[in-house]
Structure 1
Amino acid sequence: MMKNIAYCIIFFMFLLVIVLPAAIVRSCSSRLYEGLDEKGKIVKPQELTVSLYITSKNRIEKIPLEEYVKGVVAAEMPASFKIEALKAQAVAARTYVYKRMRSKGGTGCSLQKEADVCDDPTHCQAWISTSQMLKKWGIFAFYHYYSKISQAVNSTSGIIIFYQGEPIDPLFHSTSGGKTENSEDVWGNFVPYLRSVISPGEESSPKFIAIKHLPVSEVVSKIRQKWPDISIDPQRPESQWEIIERSEGGRIKKMRIGNRIVSGTEIRELFELNSTNFKWERNKDQIKFTTIGYGHGVGLSQYGANAMAERGASFVDILKHYYTGIEIKKIN
């Protein structure tokens, strides 16, 4: 009797862990790539498809636009966020790829000339497949989160962000720390819709404040590797640091390191800090960096968007707050 119960338990676990996840992925993949509805009937393919270069596989896959957007939202924003924040992310993701689609006159992806975009978040937008979503969320949360993201994407289907008749570059980041940045303060080029705006309510972000300790010897070594001709005290390098200019968003724009003037972005990249809104202090043989915010700070703040959604803002309210002077339209 006990042996039969044990066999039943093992069989049940096999179904739960192996068979059911595989069936879910096959089901989602069938609807995704073969154009089948939930009843298995063939439906008319969507008119727009995205040529996505999947870096891990070194190949290009053709994916319906709206299904591609679901993969971006799942990869870029916590699925636990409010639905209006997910909608805002969906519209931003759709606008990003639409602007780059070669079929619409876009420049495509420079990593792979035949692709519209890639799935490398340092180059284009992050993207994950349904099987990766299943692995990320687990079988019990998969249906809930996938359904929620699908609702956000489907309810905004075809909606794009425009500025003066042209699709925008909808830059976004995790956490601004209270105020976003002007585009020129980060990259030097003025973009009229990427203006600094307040972004309250981001304290729930796990990276709203972060602390990092680095040995003084490592700090000096990195600085000298970056700027070989720099003059700096190897014992107390931080004593020769001075903030010269801050951006409108409150981040460090320029600072003096020894005999050089450098940008806050250079220091952030050099020491792998979360943002350019940082301060430092000496702590024995280490330098303690305290950063506020996470990301470049330009455009939509994801945690700020969720905070707005929690206060009752719609996705349109969110997008028009973070992108100045835009229009939101549905493409044919």
Structure 2
Amino acid sequence: MSSGFFLVTLLLVLPWRPASAAVTPKWAAKEMIRSQRIVEMAPGQTTTFTIGFKNVGRETWLADGEKFVSVYTYSPKYRASQFYDTTWPSERQPARMVEDVVKPGAIGRFTITLFAPLKAGRYSETFVLAAEDTAWLTGGTFTVDIKVDQKLATAGVFAPGFKAAKLLVSAREMSLDAGETKDFRVAFKNIGKTAWKKDGKTKLVLRASRDTNTIAFRHTSWPDTEVAAVMPSDEIKPGQMIFLDFSLTAPNMGGRFTPKFVLTTDDGGIVDGGGIEIPVEVRQGLVPAQVSPYLSSEFAGAGPRGPNIRVGLFRTTDPVVFAADGPYSLYDSNEQLIRQMSGLTAVRFDFSSYTYEVTNNGWTWTSPKHVRLSPLNPATTIFEIQSLENRPTWDTSINFNRYRGDLEVLYAPATAKLWVIEELPVEDYIRGMAETSNGSPYEYQKALVTAARTYALYVKSIGGKHQSEFHDLNTTGNDQVYKGYVSELVRPNVVRAAEETRGQVVAYNGEMVVTPYFSNSDGRTRAWTEVWSRSPHPWLVSVPAPYDQGKTLWGHGVGMSANDAVGRANAGSQWQDILKHYYTGVEIRQLY
């Protein structure tokens, strides 16, 4: 009797499901992407391996917080891997998820840095995905096959067993007058498998790159033309740290430079992780804050839309999808025409093979050379980057993802970043400026676009601010805020101001000059000498900004205060007079 009652109770409390229905696990994954089937490495070399899993469970994956999803060593669990690298969160945990959030149905990627042992051979490393303190992911186990081959250890690439971690530098960037000397210090930790020596086969030096930008900073104290510093100690064992001190002398040419140095063995083998780049601004020199008559003349001859300028739109690791409302051409980096196209084009970059893959309407082209898309009719064809989401918080129906100029997808080896770059005439660039709203005073808008045009041409005259990444300016407030063609639609008054001042620049003693501007002051602007340099620029001196009274300085303070300039425009000042207030003794010149 009681047994029958027990059976009835079970039938009542168990939920009913069709016999064929399967329960989706909370935490489950399916492998979708693998960067390499077999990872090939030299002994002591570091490389990366990326794997992607689709979230086929019911729970959302997170990169941080409770239950974050990461990779653990497996088979057996929590073992110490012989491919452990110091970039791992721990010896048993190689990587966290790249994406911040991966919902069910989406793909999450995991990039593991592998540091090869010194012994050549074939290895297999097994890992598993885990939700922290919660669950191993069903289907999340994977094995990486690795071939460590001595033949891959070519001279001038990586020295086997040598690896460094840069711990500190005395300055993240430097600002020097032409010819000025300054000391620099860097600290490295030996995180490799081999001791560093002052002499002998494993002798280590800090070697300067052979590019002219670096050699131009050579100081007389360097032990050799290409060697900035040598080991101060006889031996640095794995786990120990070393300080290297050396001096830099700025060249007699102004501009922005990035000298590069790297730890190497005596025979030229590179120490993985032993590189350093030092951004340096050289003031004065042969390219001062006034643009030379030669360059001004060159700009004037560029035509009614001005010279072309290169704008770094954004960095990415994902495929870039383009569309256009007219036909366009595909070129490689040698300006070789590859194909005329229309419709959607996707460009993918393989970070392991450093190759570009272009697909369009079923056609595919692969090349090691970066790619450029150019409209057949630039006056009427606008590109749309469909893979770009660039929506303002004040109106999410707007997407700033359309551009007038040629578009390039370009990998910059110096920074290991993939850039989407737009090249277009300066006047078209100024039309897409987003430094002010459409409703700001019109005389202020004309003053602003004239200052922005002058600044852009000045930056171009010094070779650009981002030479190592092959563009002149980016789109942020660190350079100038630029939003492309959609900004023209949102800010038609700014477009009208740009066209009405087309080709006009700020000049001092007849030559175009640098024209910084900022948000607001505290009642007065700052002189150039107060902020950036001991060398005065007579058009950049402190002037009163009465409409900023009572505010806190926001920005560098040099040049035109946006808030004060708006106040002047509202009070009836003309745009030329606004500029002449902030840039003392200047004139407005028609450059082209």
- TM-score normalized by the length of structure 1: 0.52
**Residue in structure 2 matched with residue 318 of structure 1 by the alignment:** 578
CA distance in 2, matches of 1:294, 1:79: 22
* Contact in 2 for aligned 1:186/1:296 (Cα 8 Å): yes
Q: Which piece of structure 1 moves more, 148-157 or 184-193?
A: 184-193
Give CA deviations for 1:264-296 in whole Å, capped at 9, x if unaligned: xxxxxxxxxxxxxxxxxxxxxxxxxxxx23111
Is 1:50 paired with 2:309? yes
**Residue in structure 2 matched with residue 182 of structure 1 by the alignment:** 527
**Residue in structure 2 matched with residue 191 of structure 1 by the alignment:** 537
- List runs of 5+ in structure 1 lacking aligned partners: 1-43, 134-141, 210-291
* Contact in 2 for aligned 1:46/1:64 (Cα 8 Å): yes
CA distance in 1, matches of 2:506, 2:523: 24
* Contact in 2 for aligned 1:51/1:60 (Cα 8 Å): yes
Give CA deviations for 1:188-226 in whole Å, capped at 9, x if unaligned: 3322111111111236xxxx64xxxxxxxxxxxxxxxxx
CA distance in 2, matches of 1:202, 1:88: 18
Which residue of 506, 509, 531 maps to 1:164? 509
Q: Offset at 1:111?
A: 4.9
Q: Offset at 1:54?
A: 1.7
Q: Offset at 1:303?
A: 0.7
Q: Offset at 1:312?
A: 0.7
Which has the greater radius of gyration? 2
CA distance in 2, matches of 1:112, 1:52: 13
Give CA deviations for 1:34-83 in whole Å, capped at 9, x if unaligned: xxxxxxxxxx98453222122335122112211211222x2x22332100
CA distance in 1, matches of 2:506, 2:422: 25
Is 1:119 paired with 2:475? yes
Alignment of 1:110-259 (within 5 A): 110-112=466-468, 114-122=470-478, 124-131=479-486, 133=487, 143=489, 145-189=490-534, 190-202=536-548, 209=551
CA distance in 2, matches of 1:147, 1:125: 18
CA distance in 2, matches of 1:109, 1:178: 30
RMSD: 2.2
* Contact in 2 for aligned 1:111/1:118 (Cα 8 Å): no
**Residue in structure 2 matched with residue 299 of structure 1 by the alignment:** 559
* Contact in 1 for aligned 2:306/2:427 (Cα 8 Å): no
* Contact in 2 for aligned 1:55/1:120 (Cα 8 Å): no
CA distance in 2, matches of 1:297, 1:45: 33
The amino acid across from 1:117 in the alignment is: L
Residue 106 to residue 186, structure 1, CA distance change in 2 (3 Å)? closer
* Contact in 1 for aligned 2:432/2:495 (Cα 8 Å): no
**Residue in structure 1 matched with residue 344 of structure 2 by the alignment:** none
CA distance in 2, matches of 1:198, 1:91: 21
The amino acid across from 1:49 in the alignment is: N
Residue 96 to residue 47, structure 1, CA distance change in 2 (3 Å)? closer
Secondary structure at 1:55 match in 2: strand
CA distance in 2, matches of 1:172, 1:50: 20
* Contact in 1 for aligned 2:459/2:472 (Cα 8 Å): yes
Give CA deviations for 1:229-253 in whole Å, capped at 9, x if unaligned: xxxxxxxxxxxxxxxxxxxxxxxxx
* Contact in 1 for aligned 2:431/2:495 (Cα 8 Å): yes
**Residue in structure 1 matched with residue 341 of structure 2 by the alignment:** none
> Which runs of structure 1 show a deviation greater than 4 angstroms over 4 or more consecutive aligned residues?
none
**Residue in structure 2 matched with residue 225 of structure 1 by the alignment:** none
Percent identical residues: 30
* Contact in 2 for aligned 1:52/1:62 (Cα 8 Å): yes
- TM-score normalized by the length of structure 2: 0.30
**Residue in structure 2 matched with residue 61 of structure 1 by the alignment:** 422
**Residue in structure 2 matched with residue 331 of structure 1 by the alignment:** 591
**Residue in structure 2 matched with residue 289 of structure 1 by the alignment:** none
Q: Which has the higher contact order (CA 8 A, sep 6+)?
A: 1
* Contact in 2 for aligned 1:53/1:112 (Cα 8 Å): no
The amino acid across from 1:294 in the alignment is: W
Which residue of 94, 106, 109 maps to 2:453? 94
Q: Offset at 1:112?
A: 4.1
Relative to its length, the structure with more strand (as a share) is 2
CA distance in 2, matches of 1:114, 1:195: 33
Which residue of 419, 438, 446 maps to 1:79? 438
Residue 45 to residue 325, structure 1, CA distance change in 2 (3 Å)? closer
Q: Which piece of structure 1 moves more, 162-171 or 83-92?
A: 162-171
Q: Offset at 1:323?
A: 0.3
